[in-house]
Amino acid sequence: MTAPLSYLQAIRDAQIEEMERDPLVIVMGEDIRSNIYGSTGGLFERFGADRVLDTPMSETGFVGCGIGAAMTGLRPIVDMGMASFLYCATDQLVSQAAKNRYLFGGQARLPITIRAGLFYNRSNAGHHADRPYPMFMSVPGLKIIAPASPADAKGLLKSAIREDDPVLCFEDSTCWPCREVVPDGDHLEPIGVGRVRRRGTDATVVAISGAVLAAESAADALSKEGVSVEVIDPRTLVPMDYDLILASVARTGHLVVADPANRTCSAASEIAARAAEAIFDSLKGPVIRVTTPDTHIPFSRAMERQLYPSAERIAWALRKTLGLARLQKAV
């Protein structure tokens, strides 16, 4: 039987397998050789300096280099380290990676994968604790994945590396301790297809990235009260599997969306809006978002921990949409 893999082991294995499969796949970015984040150990020793490149700490520079490499035939995996560093390379991502295939009339392909870690809830304070995936969701030309489990992390990353379009891969550090058995062989998960993590009949929780674990805990708590909760993990934010989400909500009549990003213009906001537009007549209660307030992240761990979606907050939102909130204190 295959031993369970951690989230980071799954990421590392995905990169190794794709580099072995395709000599055009390269890895570049900050601190690759030193394996500071735990997902690139042994890559340099295995594949050498031509395919594993430690870059200067200039995000604009090495993301631009990766885009150019992709347009000339390589398949770069660009390791940003922290997702907050994406801001430094926003012009390259938005003005070049997202647009060039369109602007060149389809003559150029952009098979580049950008890996970015979400380092929130770790006392990293304001500069390093952002969850910036919503701002990139509105950029045409970018695909976005946000796996919450080791199997999905491996399968989606492998699919992203094989894509001919740019893919941003957001890896939630709160999921790193998770371990599970990952299918043997060439394990791929399709981009754009969500996953039902738990079946239910009374309410639907759509949970983004690290909020999946909290949503499952909330569903466990509600099951003891006789409430059956369906938990959906979209896995891909662009393109989003709205067919799966809307079918579930139409069946249960109640929707809670849990999203670690800031509340305004979040993935949760878009999902809530789609539900209100498409299946309003099926809703039996208010659509409730459980998100992070629009505030800077404090250094204090005790203060920071209260900001993000938790099992308690999600459970309260479920009770509220089901008309049971009067029995519980708001959290």
pLDDT of residue 325: 59
Domains in the chain, please, with CATH?
Answer: 5-180 (3.40.50.970), 195-327 (3.40.50.920)
Q: Which of 127, 128, 187, 254 is catalytic?
A: 128
Residue 241: CB atoms within 10 A of its CB come to 21
Instruction: Read off the pLDDT band of 1 (50, 70, 90).
Output: very low
pLDDT of residue 86: 96
- Token look-up 């998960």 returns 189
pLDDT in tens, 268-304: 999 999 999 999 999 999 999 999 999 999 999 899 9
pLDDT of residue 30: 86
What angle do helix axes 242-252 and 267-278 make, rounded to 10 degrees? Answer: 60
- Predicted confidence (pLDDT) at residue 131 exceeds the cutoff of 70: yes
pLDDT in tens, 71-92: 999 999 999 999 999 999 999 9
Strand partners of residue 113: 77, 167
- Predicted confidence (pLDDT) at residue 329 exceeds the cutoff of 80: no
In 3D, which of 159, 196, 154, 188 has the Cα closest to residue 5?
154
C-alpha distances out from residue 258 to 4, 267, 317, 319, Å: 27, 9, 10, 14
- CA 287 to CA 278: how far, in whole Å? 13
Average model confidence (pLDDT) for the chain?
A: 94
pLDDT of residue 122: 80
- CA 35 to CA 90: how far, in whole Å? 25
Q: Is 128 one of the annotated active-site residues of the chain?
A: yes
pTM for this prediction = 0.95
**Cα dihedral 45, 51, 57, 58 in deg (nearest 10):** 180
pLDDT in tens, 198-253: 999 999 999 999 999 999 999 999 999 999 999 999 999 999 999 999 999 999 99
In 3D, which of 271, 256, 258, 248 has the Cα closest to residue 201?
248
